[in-house]
Amino acid sequence: MEPMSRDELSGLLRREAVRFHFHVDAKIVWPARTRWARVTNISRTGMFIEIVNPPELNVKFSVYLALDTPLRLDCIVRRVIPKRGIGVTLCVPPEEKDRFASLLQVLAHGSKPAAAYPVAPVEQPRAMSAAGSGRS
């Protein structure tokens, strides 16, 4: 394991919430614009988003994490790193609070986020299941 750089260590020591490595596509929506980006880490209070042509400092927008059921979070740009992305603070809408808490809990336990959002089984149409089983 490589030693942590001074900047990384400084960042960890000044954060109020633990950040989790978390890679997921995300749709960013702000007035008259929609862009796809990639979240690389997340915490209770913020996240880092890799994006080309990011919104400017202090711009408010919504982000939809591409989970089995998209999770909407409201964000404010707090830091822009040219050619890399943006650091944002989060505001979790009331209707998403439970799902967001579940996501952080799953990440804290080292599980995959999909485990917090199980997909209901999809039933195959009878004609397809009969054909697939060799029955006529």
Model pLDDT for residues 114-136, shown as the tens digit of each residue = 544 433 333 333 333 344 444 43
Closest by Cα among 122, 120, 35, 119 to 77: 35
Between 12 and 32, the higher pLDDT residue: 32
Q: Which sequence spans correspond to the domains of the chain?
A: 19-116
How far apart are alpha carbons 14 and 81 in whole angstroms? 18
Residue type, 60: K
Rounded alpha-carbon distances, angstroms, from residue 111 to 17, 18, 85, 97, 128: 19, 16, 26, 19, 34
**Cβ count near 61 (within 10 Å):** 21
- Taking a C-beta distance cutoff of 8 angstroms, is the pair 106, 112 a contact? yes
Average of pLDDT values for 13-18?
Answer: 63
Model pTM? 0.70
| Fold classification of 19-116 (topology level) | Thrombin, subunit H (2.40.10)
Q: In this structure, what are the phi and psi dihedrals at residue 52, rounded to the nearest 5 degrees?
A: -90, 140
Query: Can you give the pLDDT at residue 109?
Result: 84
End-to-end distance of the chain based on CA atoms, in angstroms? Answer: 59
pLDDT tens-digit map of 67-118: 999 999 999 999 999 989 999 999 999 999 999 999 999 998 886 665 444 3
User: What sign does the CA torsion over 8, 71, 62, 100 have?
Assistant: negative
Closest by Cα among 15, 67, 59 to 39: 67
pLDDT tens-digit map of 44-53: 999 999 998 8
